[in-house]
Amino acid sequence: MDAMIEELYQEIILDHYRSPRHRGRCPHCGRTAHRDNPLCGDEITLGLELSEGTIARVVFEGQGCSISQASASMMAEAVDGLGVERALELAASVRRLMHGEPPEEDLGDLMALSGVARFPVRVKCALLPWTALVEALS
């Protein structure tokens, strides 16, 4: 990977880790999911509110490594306002990206996660919030 792109990706991940978007509790959210990754000590609790098939609210709480928490923040930002089917498609695209496949669509800032694909032990960290998303939407 190009060194400048790699640096940019690092910046995006650090920014989301330091200033997470959509962080908070949602005790009344209709859809929730909790996932953990004991290998790394990562935990994500996700809350979603749907309105007419669209994600009207998405919040998460969690702890763990920078990759898992940044990925949760990026996921929440990316799926906020999306239709359920579109959000599931995006989750599938990110899963493919994490397995080293080139994306079929422009994933925007989510491309920053692509560098993680080279570190199999961290792929679980990056996918944790996306797995929680799929569970909450199912």
Count residues contacting Zn ion (CB under 5 A)? Answer: 6
Interatomic CA distance for residues 76 and 60, integer angstroms: 8
CB of 67 to Zn ion, least distance (A): 5
DSSP three-state, residue 96: helix
Residues 75-114, one symbol each (x = binds Zn ion by CB under 5 A, - = not), give ----------------------------------------
Is position 8 an interface residue for Zn ion (rule: CB under 5 A)? no
Of 13, 20, 31, 42, the residue at the interface with Zn ion (CB under 5 A) is: 42
CB of 16 to Zn ion, least distance (A): 14
Of 21, 23, 36, 40, the residue at the interface with Zn ion (CB under 5 A) is: 40
Which DSSP category does 1 fall into?
-
Of 8, 29, 50, 65, the residue at the interface with Zn ion (CB under 5 A) is: 65
**Best CA proximity match to 135, nearest among 103, 99, 87, 97:** 87
Measured between alpha carbons, how far apart are the two ends of the chain, in Å? 35
CB of 124 to Zn ion, least distance (A): 7
Of 70, 113, 116, 125, the residue at the interface with Zn ion (CB under 5 A) is: 125
Reading the block at residue 46, the tokens are 């996700």
Angle at 137 between CA 132 and CA 138, to 5 degrees: 100
| 68 and 37 Cβ atoms separated by less than 8 Å | yes
Q: Which residues here bind Zn ion, judged by CB under 5 A?
A: 40, 42, 64-65, 68, 125
